[in-house]
Amino acid sequence: MGTTPETPRDTPLRGAGRPATRRPPRRTSAGRRTFTSTLRALDDLASSGARVAVRIDDLDRGTAVLAGDDNDTLPVGGLGVVPLLVEVAAAFEDGRLNPLEIVDRSSLEPVTVAGIWQHLKAPALPLADLAVLAASVGDALAANALLDRVGLPAVRARLETLGMERTALLDRFRDRRGPDDAPRLALSSARELATLFAALVNSRAVDARVSAQVAEWLSRNADLSLVASAAGLDPFAHENDDHGLLFINKTGRDDGVRAEAGVLAGPRAGVSYALIVCFDDLSIAHRLRAHDAFRVLGLELMEYVF
């Protein structure tokens, strides 16, 4: 059976994309899965003025299953923590940082936008625990503490070595951004985020040990409210699923921004994915419409891997 040509990766569809023509994944004998409902939902968002970028890669074949405006650089909120975690894991591995080094919360500038450390009695924690908090609950104080220890220049250098030219961690988490602060926490593209998550599960993000460490941290992420909602996983215990589902993800949120990237693998196939939606958050209805698009994608990803 011969292969069929893929749709060009940068083919736009009013902010969404067209599915690439491809053979079925190697792990399945079923027919092709399509993402018709996802495309419709993303088209509707784009028609309403939202900026949409999506990318899905088949992990077996290493080819794009769905791509739309996936090379556009957009704000991604807390998803910018992932390259920070990669740099922290690399620093643990090569000895630049001690995972048990204690950080005192009082040494940090207060920030309340997200996380639980601000509510805990423990005034100080080791760097390794802060990495868990940053990955699992998007803890802003923990992420800022990690960033203080490695520094923005090191994260930028790591992004270069990872080949992520359209991704940048611009600043720390802040309750308010003034005129002298970066306007956003982080920027990235759907293509680079999907590629990074594929590299993590394929042991190619720096090296196998760093990849495994970051994937372990992200496997504890409790935010399963967007794409991941379709998997029916326990938000607090989903590392070992009884149905053979492999899943890691990270979400990003900001004013008018929702983003998620991850890896989903089942018995039929495995994919890395990223979806970024930038919208006018004028009402709850606008926000829920954006959230619904993530959930539609999640349902069709589950159909693809199962």
> φ and ψ at 56, to 5 degrees?
-130, 125
Q: Which two tokens stand for residue 74?
A: 């957009």
- Residue 34 — very low, low, confident or very high, per pLDDT cuts 50/70/90? confident
pLDDT above 90 for 201: yes
Indicate the pLDDT class of residue 243, thresholds 50, 70 and 90. confident
- Taking every pair of C-alpha atoms in the chain, what is the biggest distance, in angstroms? 64
Instruction: For residue 249, report the phi and psi dihedrals to the nearest 5 degrees.
Output: -160, 165
State both tokens at 64. Answer: 């794009």
- Identify the pLDDT of residue 63: 94
| Predicted pLDDT at 32 | 58
Q: What mean pLDDT is predicted for residues 173-190?
A: 95
- Does residue 197 surpass a pLDDT of 90? yes
Residues 15-21 have a mean pLDDT of: 37
Kindly report the CATH number that applies to the domain delimited by 18-305: 3.40.710.10
Euclidean distance between CA atoms 77 and 40, whole angstroms:
25
Q: Is 65 in contact with 85 (CB distance < 8 Å)? A: no
Give the residue carrying structure tokens 């992990």: 59
Q: Please state, rounded to an integer, the average pLDDT across all residues of the chain.
A: 90
The pLDDT score that the predictor gives to residue 241 is: 77
Compare 50 and 22 and report the one with higher pLDDT.
50
| pLDDT confidence tier of residue 239, bands split at 50, 70 and 90 | confident
Q: Which of 154, 160, 171 is nearest to 87 (CA)?
A: 154
pLDDT above 70 (res 31): no
Average pLDDT of the segment spanning 283-306: 96
> Could you read off the pLDDT of 50-101 as tens digits, one per residue?
999 999 999 999 999 999 999 999 999 999 999 999 999 999 999 999 999 9
Provide the pLDDT for residue 234: 87
Report d(CA 82, CA 193) in Å as an integer.
9
Q: Are 190 and 70 in contact (CB under 8 A)?
A: yes
Question: Which residue in the block uniquely carries the two structure tokens 């619904």?
Answer: 292
Regarding pTM above 0.85, the answer is yes
End-to-end CA distance of the chain: 23
Name the residue type at position 92: F
